């Protein structure tokens, strides 16, 4: 089925000038960009986004990292978009990511892993709505 998913190009990748490279990998994979913006999250926004991880030992560092610089958030659409985008990103830890994936190409370590993608249909809906109003999505 045609699905929407949510993507973040994270601060490590934006900082290194990799926005265009990563967007090219995304669009070359067949995913369509339905909405996109560059933002610099404040702490409350990042904590809310990663609320599911708040008991994890890495939560504090994760939030510090996600607010350390601007990110590019987007809503992507395509056949089986959620799973296809996760495959395109590769494993969370770039050291384990398959060749040809975004994280294998550009990820630095398990935290500075260059991109985020929704992990399922429910989170995809919640995450798109956390950053985009309906009138910010085309089509």
Q: Which residues of this chain interact with ligand CMP, rule CB under 6 A?
A: 53, 58, 62, 92, 110-111, 113, 116
CB of 133 to ligand CMP, least distance (A): 22
- Is 130 or 138 the residue whose CB approaches ligand CMP more closely? 130
| Torsions phi, psi for 2 (to 5 deg) | -75, 125
Identify which of residues 101 and 113 has a Cβ nearer to ligand CMP in the complex.
Answer: 113
**Is 40 an active-site residue?**
no
Identify the burial level of 87 via C-beta atoms within 10 angstroms of its C-beta, where 0-12 means exposed, 13-18 middle and 19 or more buried. middle
**Neighbouring residues of 54: CB distance < 8 A, sequence distance ≥ 6:** 47
Residue 68 Cβ vs ligand CMP, minimum distance, rounded to whole Å:
12
What DSSP assignment string belongs to 13-25? HHHTT-HHHHHHH
In whole angstroms, the minimum distance from the beta carbon of 139 to ligand CMP comes to 26
Closest CB to ligand CMP among 74 and 113? 113
Which lies closer to ligand CMP via its Cβ, residue 37 or residue 53? 53
Neighbours of 70 (CB within 10 A): 16
Task: Indicate the residue whose CB is closest to ligand CMP.
Answer: 116
Q: Which of 82, 106, 116, 117 is catalytic?
A: 116
Structure tokens that stand for 62 in this block: 């994760």
Q: What is the separation, in whole angstroms, between the first and last Cα of the chain?
A: 17
In the complex, least distance from residue 60 CB atom to ligand CMP, rounded to whole angstroms: 11
Show which residues are catalytic. 116
């Amino acid at each position: 089925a045609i699905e929407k998913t949510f993507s973040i190009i994270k601060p490590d990748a934006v900082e290194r000038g990799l926005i265009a490279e990563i967007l090219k990998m995304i669009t070359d994979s067949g995913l369509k960009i339905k909405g996109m913006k560059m933002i610099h999250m404040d702490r409350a926004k990042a904590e809310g986004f990663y609320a599911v991880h708040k008991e994890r030992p890495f939560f504090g560092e994760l939030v510090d990292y996600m607010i350390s610089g601007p990110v590019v958030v987007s809503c992507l659409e395509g056949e089986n978009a959620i799973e296809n985008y996760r495959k395109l990103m590769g494993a969370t830890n770039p050291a384990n990511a398959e060749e040809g994936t975004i994280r294998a190409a550009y990820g630095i370590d398990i935290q500075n892993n260059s991109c985020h993608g929704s992990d399922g249909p429910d989170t995809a809906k919640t995450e798109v709505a956390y950053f985009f109003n309906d009138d910010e999505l085309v089509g």
